[in-house]
Amino acid sequence: MSELDLNNKTSEMLANSEANVKNSKKNFTRPEDEKREVVAPDGSIIEVNPLYDYFSNEKPKEEKPRGGVVEKFLNWARAESIWVLGFGTGCGSIEIPPLVTPRFDMFRYGVQMRPTPRQSNAFIISGYLSVKTLKRVIRTYEQMPSPKYILALGSCTINGGMYYDSYSTINRLDKYIPVDVYIAGCMPRPEALLHGFVKLKQLIKEGKAEKANEYARNFDEYKANQKKIIKDWNMPDYNW
């Protein structure tokens, strides 16, 4: 199949994806996500829609860089202070811990691990990504404050790698979330990962790492791709 055909196929799929979700053979709404009624203290009935009420259902906005010297300075700061979310998605996550050891020592590049997405600006997708994990990755990615960067680690994130024919593992990560840096290999060594960081820093300093904005710009398309394979979508469209 040629690239063109694939793209056609993709757009066709996109058109049907909303319908796909709805036409699914099963109803995937979990009991706890169904609408329910609770009794208020004064006796009135309140209807609760768990899929909607608890979340801020707003779409992301594109945050334009300020430009100029300020932006350059800030980009430098961002590049020198890459806070990586400690979230291992696949087998590649075993390659991350060596980075904090004396041999590789990522701290000297200003790279640190952070435990919460709110405080991180880089996300390493470490290896194969099953649909189930993708859901969590999306939520986590969206919760990170912009600007944010994604490093895709290993060939699985590029074309599915050895899981290209798996029923539960995605093939191309960039169809679901935007990727700044790919690090090829199965698995890439920590050195490669460090190289990825250096590359990322370079991109940030050049002002080219604006994938968060791209995500916001093409939000509908990404969302349609995501929803197509995540059939029991029980999150808001954008996770703030």
Partner 1 sequence: MNIYAKLAYTILGFLIVLNWGFLMGATMRKIGARMAGRHGIPFKQPWINLFKSISTRTVITHGIMYYIGPVFRLTGGIGLFLFMPMVFTGSPDGPWTNFSFEGDLILIMYFNVFGMLGMALGAGEGGHPYAAMGITRGLAQHAAVELPLTLAFLSIAIQFDTFSIYKIVEAQQGGIMHWVLFTNPFAAAAIILAMLGALGHSPFNLVKAPNEILIGPATEYEGTYLGFMMSAGATLHVMEAVLFMNLVFGGATSWLELIVKSFLIYFWSVFVGMVFPRFKIEQSVTWFFKVPLLLGVLAVIIFMF
Partner 2 sequence: MVTPIFIVATALGAGFAIGVLNKFGKNFTGGLVLAAITFMTFISYQWFSAFQFGDQTPEYVYTAGFMPPLSINLLMGHYEAFVTLLINFAGLLGGIYMFNSLKNRGSNAQVVYLIMLMGLNVMVMTRDIFNLFVFMEVSSIAIAGLILLEKGTRSMGAGFKYILATSIISGFLLIGIIFAYYFTGTLNLDGMIDANLSGIKGGAVAVFMIMIAIILELKPFPANGWGLDLYEGSNAGFSAVVSAASATASFFVLSKVMDIAGPEWYYYISLIGAVTFVGSNLLGIKQENTRRMLGYSSIGQLGLLMLILGFRDILGDQTPYIVFGILISHYMAKAGLFWISGIVKSKGLKGWAVIRKKPFFLFLMGTFIFALIGFPPFPSFFAKWTLVMELVKTGNMAWVVAILFGSMMEAVYLFRWFGYAIKGENEHLEDFKIEIHKIVPVWMVAIGLYVMGYFTAQFTEVGAEINFIPLAFVGLLLALDFLPVFVKNTIAIAGMLAYSYFIYPDLEGDTLRLIFEGIFMLGGILALIAGYAYKGTRAGFYPVAILMYAGLTGIIEAKTTLEFFYGWELMTAGSYFLIIRGKRSMPHGLSYMLFSIGGAYALLAGLGIAHVGQDSFAMDIINNIQYIPYWAYGLLIAGFLTKTAAVGLHIWLPGAHGEAESDVSPMVSAILLKAGVFGVVLALIGMGAENNQYTELAYALGWLGAITAFVGNLMAIFQEDAKRLLAYSSIGQLGYIVFGLAMMTHLGWLAGFSYVINHFLYKAVLFLTIGAVVMRVGTHNMYEMGGLIKRMPLAFVAVMIGIIALSGVPPLSGFTGKWLFYNAVLEKGWYLQGALFSFSGILAFMYLWRLIHTVFLGQLKDNHRNVKEISIWFLIPIYTLIAGLMVYAAKPEWILQPLGNMIAQFFPDGQLIWDGGTAISKYGQWSGSLIGMTIGATFMTVLIWLMLSTRKAHKVKQFDITYSGERPERPETTHVAYNAFEGLYKAMWVATIPLVETFWDRVTNILHDTAGFTRRLYSGNGQAYMLHIVFFILITYLVIIGG
Partner 3 sequence: MKELIEKLSSKYELQEVVYQRDNLVFAAISKENAIEAVTYLRDYEGYTHLVMMSCVDWIEDGKYQLLYLLHNPKLKNDIGIKVYIDRENPEMVSAHHLWKSVWTYQREMHESFGIVFPGSPRLEENFVVEGWDETPFMRRDFDTHEYAEKTYFPRGNRKTNDPAEYMRKKLYPNQPVTAKQRKDDK
Binding site residues, partner 2, CB under 8 A = 32, 36, 38-42, 44, 46, 48, 50, 53-56, 58, 87, 116-118, 135-137, 139-140, 143, 234-236, 239-240
Tell me the β-bridge partners of 126.
Answer: 153
Q: Minimum CB separation from partner 3 for residue 82, in Å? A: 28
Size of the site for partner 3 (CB under 8 A): 34
In the list 50, 51, 74, 135, the residue contacting partner 3 (rule: CB under 8 A) is 135
In the complex with partner 2, which residue's Cβ is closer, 9 or 36? 36
Q: Minimum CB separation from partner 3 for residue 92, in Å? A: 19
State the Cα–Cα distance between residues 212 and 222, nearest whole angstrom.
12
In the list 121, 126, 155, 169, the residue contacting partner 1 (rule: CB under 8 A) is 121
Q: Minimum CB separation from partner 1 for residue 236, in Å? A: 13
In the complex with partner 2, which residue's Cβ is closer, 145 or 207? 145
Q: Minimum CB separation from partner 3 for residue 60, in Å? A: 22
Say if CB 128 and CB 94 are below 8 A apart: no
Say if CB 215 and CB 60 are below 8 A apart: yes
Residue 167 within binding range of partner 3, rule CB under 8 A: yes
Residue 154 Cα distances to 82, 89, 157, 162, 173, angstroms:
20, 12, 6, 11, 11
Size of the site for partner 1 (CB under 8 A): 28
Q: Write the CB contacts of 176 (distance below 8 Å, at least 6 apart in sequence).
A: 134, 138, 170, 222, 225, 226
State the Cα–Cα distance between residues 91 and 61, nearest whole angstrom.
33
State the Cα–Cα distance between residues 93 and 82, nearest whole angstrom.
17
Closest CA to 144 of 90, 98, 212, 234: 212
In the list 107, 159, 207, 218, the residue contacting partner 1 (rule: CB under 8 A) is 107
Q: Minimum CB separation from partner 3 for residue 163, in Å? A: 8
